[in-house]
Structure 1
Amino acid sequence: MQIPNNLQQVQRHFSERAEVNLVIQAKSQDLRWTSQKWGLWSLTYEQELTTPLHITASRGYVDCLRHLLLRGADVDMAPGGQTALHVACTAATPDCVRLLLSFGADPEAVSEDGRKPLHLCQSPESLQCAQLLLGHGARVNSATEEEEDTPLHVAARWGLVEHVRLFLSYGASLEARNTEGQTPLNAACAQPHPSSATEDYFQVCQQLVAVGAQVNTADLDRQRPLHQACKNANSRVVELLLSHGANVNIMSYSGNMAMHNILQVAAYRLDHQPEKAVRDLLNHGAVRIWPGALLKVLRHCCGSPRTIEALVNSYEHVRVTEEWAEAVPAELVQEHPHFFQSLFSLGRTPRSLKHLARCALRSSLDGHLLQALPALGLPPPLQEFLLLRFEDVLY
Structure 2
Amino acid sequence: MEDNNDEILDGQNEEVQSQVSLPQDIQRIIIGFLPGRTVLKFCSVCKFWRDCIVEPAFVDHHLNCALRFRQAIACFTSVDNGLVQMYMFDPITVNFKRTEPVFSSRFHMSQPCNGMVCAYDLKGAAEVLNPTTRKHLTLPASESVYQAQYSEYFLGYVHSTKEYKVVALRHWIKHLTFEVCTIGTLSWRTVRGSEEEELLKTTKPVVVNDEMHWLLLDDESSHFTRKILSFNLTDEKFSYLDVPDSVRDRDLELVEGEGKLHLWSMPCKGAAYTESEIWLADSTRQFWVHLHNIAHPSVLGTKPFFMYKSKLFLGSQKRFIYIDILDGTVCYVDIPSGENIISSGMHRLGELNDIINRFSLCWVIIKRLWTIFSCCWIFLNKNSTFTRCLQVVLSSCAILQAGEKNNKLSVEDVYRRHKQDSAGAMK
TM over 0.5: no
Please, what TM-score do these two structures have when normalized by structure 1? 0.24
Structure with greater strand share of residues: 2
Structure with greater helix share of residues: 1
Please, what TM-score do these two structures have when normalized by structure 2? 0.22
Which protein, 1 or 2, shows the higher relative CO under an 8 Å CA cutoff with sep ≥ 6?
2
Greater Cα radius of gyration, structure 1 or 2: 1
